[in-house]
Amino acid sequence: MARKEELKSQILELVKEYYAEVHAPSKVFEAGKTFVNYGGRYYNEEEMLNLVDSSLDFWLTAGPWARKFETRFAEWLGVKYCSLTNSGSSANLLAFMALTSPALGERRICRGDEVITVACGFPTTVAPIIQFGAVPVFVDVTLPEYNIDVTQLEQAYSAKTKAVMIAHTLGNPFDLGAVKAFCDAHGLWLIEDNCDALGSLYFIEGEWKKTGTVGHIGSSSFYPPHHMTMGEGGAVYTNDPQLHKIVNSFRDWGRDCWCVGGVDNTCHYRFSKQFGELPVGYDHKYVYSHFGYNLKVTDMQAAIGCAQLEKLDDIVEIRRKNWALLRAGLEGIEDLILPEPQVNSKPSWFGFLITVKEGAGFTRNQLSGYLESKKIQTRNLFAGNLVKHPAFDEMRRTGRGYRIVGELTCTDLIMNNTLWIGVYPGMQPEMLHYMIETIKNFVSGHKQ
């Protein structure tokens, strides 16, 4: 044992040296030459040490590091339960599929039931609804918040409505007060896609709460550009013990058993119960109560996450400061619509949104092209308008599979006129000032 620890110590010391030599970030920024990414991995030697440490244990599948992360992340969020999964998209899939469980009785979502959402966002917020056979009901969003127009909720409601599933756009919380009140009034489920908003706060019911914890289920993504990363990875969280058990069942092949990896007979009736039409005493580890998946993480991913979690409060604050610097620096440009935080919120920003006004004398694509030519990375607001994409071709032709409330006017404006730039913690102040100067130069050069 002593030799093992000695070898591990030597290996980890070399990892520190390797990080310093190969991965330590450069402090040199040259305007127009250094690439300004919209996002990226923000890490130091601690993530690499945890990664190598966990790999030496060679557990590989979800194990001690995963359980450690789930416990600590739930505590950080202020919720009772957290389930790690292999991506934010899988987190959304698990969050939605949990609500289709027969264990929920009359409240379960069935095929043909409706789920209110928005078309302006990332597709995997909506994909699970369609894949299951439920019907997304799309409502418009507002500017400059880029979130659901809550005045359309009642119009979107029908006797078939079972849930609302929407994202907090680029870290800006949607109007949780109005959405939660609507869901409570109609007995609906609320899923918060929190993948782009980890650390955002919303004042509700007399206190500040982290987004993702107000609804019945929240989801997070740990893809590299997000607030924290495991490379790939995601999480589903809730305060409801039944939903937590169902989420884990769908994640872990659909099994009825809730034993963690490497542990047997937690329930103490592994060979004594009768399930379905199986014989009495059939091994509970191989009883399946849902048609599930295998969406677990590896312990090595979770080890990286444990190190990232120690930085998360600082990451949120740096993102807020970077966003505020951009907002102040771009204030007053008449041809651009700048973002505004939702009332009663403290966003943990994922990016900085810019919308080109109609009649500005230049287009979004011209502005994006100019910024990219100056080594500033840009992104559109994901799908823009989901229903305009090829994946919806057949549904558009048949007129079946989804419903739109009113006109998606702001959604289409965002599809055509909106871009965003980064605020991630790896940005140096010089990069932020360079982005401000470059945008101002472009706009002033297109004055009519």
Dihedral of alpha carbons 412, 413, 417, 419, sign: negative
Question: Are 264 and 323 part of one and the same domain?
Answer: no
The DSSP H or E segment spanning 428 is: none
- Written as one string, the DSSP assignment of 255-316 is BS--PPTT---TTS-TTT---TTSPTT--GGG-BSS---B-PPBHHHHHHHHHHHHHHHHHH
Q: Are residues 340 and 395 in the same domain?
A: yes
Q: Please check whether residue 373 lies inside any domain of the structure.
A: yes
Q: From CA 147, how far away is CA 131, in angstroms rounded?
A: 24
In eight-state DSSP terms, residue 444 is: H
Confidence of residue 208 (pLDDT cuts 50, 70, 90): very high
pLDDT band at 41 (very low <50, low <70, confident <90, very high): very high
Reply yes or no on whether the pLDDT at 80 is more than 90.
Answer: yes
Residue 238 and residue 153 share a domain: yes
Residue where a domain terminates, one of 266, 301, 336:
301
Looking at residue 178, what is its pLDDT? Answer: 98
Provide mean pLDDT across the span 281-307: 96
Domain check: are 257 and 321 in the same one?
A: no
CATH number for the domain harbouring residue 96: 3.40.640.10
Residue with tokens 């093992």: 4
Are residues 96 and 196 located together in one domain of the fold? Answer: yes
Are residues 254 and 107 located together in one domain of the fold? yes
**In a domain? residue 15:** no
Over residues 172-201, the mean pLDDT reads 98
Span 290-318, mean pLDDT?
A: 97
- Taking all residues of the chain, what is their mean pLDDT, rounded to a whole number? 96
User: Which pLDDT does position 263 carry in this prediction?
Assistant: 79
Establish if 364 belongs to a structural domain.
Answer: yes
Say yes or no: 225 and 286 in one domain. Answer: yes
For residues 363 and 270, state if they share a domain.
no
Q: Is the pLDDT of residue 244 over 80?
A: yes
Do 277 and 317 lie in one domain? The reply is: no
Q: What angle do CA 31, 37, 41 make, to 5 degrees?
A: 130
* Lowest pLDDT segment from 71-80, 277-286, 334-343: 277-286
Assigned domain for 175 exists: yes
Residue 237 in any domain: the answer is: yes
Q: Which residue is catalytic, options 226, 227, 284, 290?
A: 226
In this prediction, residues 309-317 reach a mean pLDDT of 98
Same domain for 116 and 76, yes or no, is: yes
The alpha carbon of 79 is separated from its chain's Cα centroid by a whole number of angstroms, namely 17
- Up-side HSE of residue 139: CA atoms within 13 Å toward CB? 22
Residue 191 has pLDDT above 90, yes or no: yes
Percentage with pLDDT > 70 across the chain: 100
pLDDT in the model for residue 196:
98
Residue 347: inside a domain, yes or no?
A: yes
The answer, yes or no, to whether residue 251 has pLDDT greater than 90, is yes
Statement to judge: residues 202 and 343 lie in one domain: no
Does residue 139 form part of some domain?
A: yes
| Domain span including residue 421 | 312-445
Based on the residue annotation, tell me whether 226 is a catalytic residue of this protein.
yes
Which residues, including other chains, have CB under 8 Å from residue 322's CB and lie 6 or more apart?
349, 423, 424, 425, 427, 432
d(C-alpha 356, C-alpha 363), whole Å: 7
> How many domains does one find in the chain?
2
Residue 406 is part of a domain; what is its CATH number?
Answer: 3.90.1150.10
Cα distances from 323 to residues 27, 326, 332, 422, 433, in angstroms, run: 20, 5, 16, 8, 12
- Domain end, chosen from 276, 301, 326, is at 301
267 pLDDT band, cuts 50/70/90, is confident
| Residue 6 within any structural domain of the chain | no
- Position 109 confidence tier, pLDDT thresholds 50, 70, 90: very high
User: For the segment 96-108, what is each residue's pLDDT rounded down to a tens digit?
Assistant: 999 999 999 999 9
Last residue of a domain, one of 253, 277, 301: 301
- pTM for the model stands at 0.96
The reply to whether 89 and 132 lie within a common domain is yes
- Look at residues 219, 170, 157 and name the one whose alpha carbon lies nearest to residue 197: 170
